[in-house]
Amino acid sequence: MFSRIGLFLLANFGVLAVLSMSMRLLGVDAYLAEQGGAFQLNGLLVMAAIMGFAGSFISLAMSKMMAKRSMGVQVIETPRNETEQWLLNTVKRQAKEAGVGMPEVGIFQANVMNAFATGMNKNNALVAVSTGLMQQMTRDEVEAVLGHEMAHVANGDMVTMGLLQGVLNTFVIFFSRIIGMLVDRVVFKVERGIGPGYWIGSIVAEVVLGVVAAIIAAWFSRRREYRADEGGARLAGSGKMIAALQRLAGAHEPQGMKGEMAAFGISAGSSLTELLSTHPPLEKRIAALKARV
């Protein structure tokens, strides 16, 4: 299972890989490589931008469907009990206060405490919580978690992430091709068209630059988490938001469950893991909220 941003980044990587390989197989790369000077660079930049933003927004459009399927979300259409009615009423109230359309509300089976919001339109989003979160948190804490997710929706975080990812995709595609061409010309001495150096160099560069892009996207996501915490505090109250984060901080994360916990910000591990984490450490989030109380 993946977090909201993790699902988006995974989908973006897959779509981008398909588009990139298609352009290679269709001969677009070869055509651009045969052109000279400014036309080659301008054409490459236009191609990179089209592919980069197409990959990002296709992923964004798929995000809600992917989240429902991958996490087994059961959307509440007609409340079956008082708990589901309370969830709908709470989200409806918060959506009204945040000035956004009522999102779909769902529950998915998971023993860990987890919640996420996704969707490419702030007036047509999805907010979902795990059964573990409902069982292990008080209603005040759940209200704060819902407020945090509604703040993501109101802030337009998924669309903003889509735009950023489009720029990063363009950067990866453009410079990976440039590096491939340089390897071809300098190392393999290919004077015209493309040779093996281009394929090797561009693919390796695409992977390396893709990691750099993922680090930038993760850093941006971490900044948005602080804003979502502030939004959750406004919608549910600072005390409830701090209590919810403290509840998560006090939970012991089971081995192998990092991805599930990541949706609301549990993360640990190596320096690279921290760089790629889409959520800041809970201690820092709690401290930031307390500083604003």
Q: Is the pLDDT of residue 38 over 50?
A: no
**Residues 196, 188: Cα–Cα separation, whole Å:** 8
Strand partners, 116: 128
Query: How much is the mean pLDDT over the chain?
Result: 84
The predicted structure's pLDDT at residue 110: 93
Question: Given the DSSP bridges, would you call strands 74-75 and 126-130 parallel, antiparallel or unpaired?
Answer: unpaired
Which of 143, 149, 206, 225 is flagged as catalytic? 149
Active site annotation includes 82: no
Two structure tokens written together for 293: 């109380």
The predicted structure's pLDDT at residue 105: 98
- Nearest partner of 224 among 57, 3, 2, judged by Cα: 3
Q: Is the pLDDT of residue 243 over 80?
A: yes
The predicted structure's pLDDT at residue 251: 81
Distance of CA 234 to the CA centre of its chain: 24
- Nearest partner of 245 among 113, 134, 74, judged by Cα: 113
Q: Is the pLDDT of residue 263 over 90?
A: no
The predicted structure's pLDDT at residue 250: 87
Do residues 289 and 233 touch, judged by C-beta distance below 8 A?
Answer: yes
What residue has token string 């429902």? 68
Percent of the chain with pLDDT over 90: 51
Radius of gyration of the chain (CA): 22
Question: Given the DSSP bridges, would you call strands 126-130 and 115-118 parallel, antiparallel or unpaired?
Answer: antiparallel
Among 10-14, 69-73, 86-90, 282-286, which is the least confidently predicted range?
10-14
Two structure tokens written together for 211: 């990691």
Q: First and final CA of the chain: distance in angstroms?
A: 34
For the sheet containing 104-108, what is the strand order?
74-75, 104-108, 126-130, 115-118
Q: Is the pLDDT of residue 182 over 60?
A: yes
CA angle 218, 222, 227 (to 5 degrees): 145
CA distances from residue 277 to 18, 225, 262 in whole angstroms, order as listed: 25, 11, 8
Q: Is the pLDDT of residue 143 over 90?
A: yes
32 band by pLDDT with thresholds 50, 70 and 90 = low
pLDDT tens digits along 59-110: 888 889 988 998 999 999 999 999 999 999 999 999 999 999 999 999 999 9
Percent of the chain with pLDDT over 70: 79
Task: Kindly list the domain boundaries of the chain, sorted by start residue.
Answer: 1-293
CA dihedral sign, ordered 202, 207, 212, 217: positive
Q: Is the pLDDT of residue 254 over 80?
A: no
| Average pLDDT rounded to a whole number, residues 243-268 | 57
